[in-house]
Amino acid sequence: MKNTKEHIIDILIENKGRYISGEDISEKLGISRASIWKGIQALKKEGYDIDSKSGAGYTLIGKIEEQAMSPYEIKHKLNTKYIAQNIHYFESIDSTNIQASKISDKSSEGTVIIADAQTDGKGRTGKKWLSKQNAGIYFSIILKPDIPLFKASFLTQVTGAVIAETLGSLNIPCEIKWPNDIVINHKKIAGILTEMNAEIDRINYIIVGIGININANKFDDELSKTASSIENEGYIIDKIEFLRKFFELFETCYENFKNDDNKQVLKTLREKSAVLGKEIYVIKKGEKEICFAENIDDNGNLVVRNQFGLNETIFTGEISIRGLESYI
């Protein structure tokens, strides 16, 4: 359910470039002009540049995409039932995953925490995730699926497939380095950190955290061998458009996942794989072995052929892989 401010911003966005009177807005929303005025003042306080002219009404100044991201813009025309219908936005926060876990008990499924910067962004395996102001998209989704525990890890691959499909739909070609790093030109531009709170036989909640490097153009020498950003690789992305498309596709794929239908996701994982059909290093406890990546099975595991011609199934989390000459 949208609140008054969200309805007002929707109308201002729809009428961008012209003034709309308080009376018209009040008629459209069926609420008093005083409430419209209050809503406009609240939006201005939040940083919206709204001009008012007596006799003409209100207009949104400047390009909305130049302003800081806000829940209203993301929710404007967002076509989902519950994913991102509830958004908590922060200019800066320690970590959206940490914030998500703090509020998960009281939050409904699909609630999203999004920030323009993180001071303590978390990567996988205890690493840090660089999250400078406006350099990327950092967000977490709270999920409460009623599924057996062993199925939960596939959710990370569902998310990877949705990121890849969304970027593809925006004409940004990317690949998936199994199991779930998103790469462009062999460099990682997005990562997913899935965390779970569960009892022995029951999931309380899952937090899927997603970090996408948009214009994080200064990586140190070591990191720049393996990491990059969408802009560094020559593509432009509209954050809001990305998020809207992502949330819509995520809801569809997540619903299918809960119903044990992962056909669409598996198709994407295979078609956009950066490793299938290639020789790769499989690294287990520091030991490197060259293998041929044959397939991704229906459970999302990587099937490789080793040097003795035998097939091995690699489970996510157990092993890491690298390209023979580069990150992948």
Residues in touch with ligand BTN (CB under 6 A): 95-97, 118, 121-124, 127, 129, 138-140, 191-193, 209-211
Return d(Cα 229, Cα 130) in angstroms, integer: 12
Residue 302 vs residues 157, 236, 305, 309: alpha-carbon distances, Å: 12, 32, 10, 16
The smaller minimum CB distance to ligand BTN, of residues 57 and 211, is found at 211
Closest approach of ligand BTN to the CB of residue 94, in Å: 8
Minimum CB distance to ligand BTN, residue 308 (Å)? 32
Tokens 């994982």 belong to: 269
DSSP-derived letter for residue 64 is G
| Angle (CA) 124 282 316, round 5° | 45
- Kindly tell me which of 138 and 254 has the beta carbon lying closer to ligand BTN: 138
Min CB(111)–ligand BTN separation in Å? 14
Min dist CB 181 to ligand BTN, Å, is: 6
The rounded distance, in Å, linking the Cα atoms of 11 and 202 is: 43
Do 179 and 316 meet the contact criterion of CB atoms below 8 Å apart?
A: yes
Q: Cβ closer to ligand BTN: 138 or 178? A: 138
Chain centroid to CA 13: how far?
Answer: 24
Phi-psi region of 317 (alpha: psi -120 to 50; beta: other; left: phi over 0): left
Tell me if residue 6 falls in helix, strand or coil.
Answer: helix
Asked whether the CA dihedral 141, 236, 223, 324 is positive or negative, the reply is positive
- The angle, 0 to 180 degrees and rounded to 10, between the axes of the packed helices 239-258 and 154-169 is 140
What's the closest the beta carbon of residue 122 comes to ligand BTN, in angstroms? 4
Count CB-CB contacts under 10 A for residue 311.
Answer: 12
Q: Which is nearer to ligand BTN, 57 or 121 (CB)?
A: 121
CB closer to ligand BTN, 141 vs 314: 141
The Cα–Cα gap between 94 and 84 comes to 20
Q: How far is the CB of 100 from ligand BTN (least distance, A)?
A: 8
Q: Which residues, 6+ apart, have CB-to-CB distance to 260 below 8 Å? A: none
Q: How far is the CB of 288 from ligand BTN (least distance, A)?
A: 21
**Vertex 317, ends 261 and 295: CA angle to 5°?**
55
Instruction: Name the residue nearer to ligand BTN (CB basis): 16 or 225.
Output: 225
Point out the residue whose Cβ comes nearest to ligand BTN: 191
Report the residue number, 95 or 229, with the smaller CB distance to ligand BTN.
95
Cβ at position 58, least distance to ligand BTN in Å: 34
Nearer to ligand BTN, 33 or 127 (CB): 127
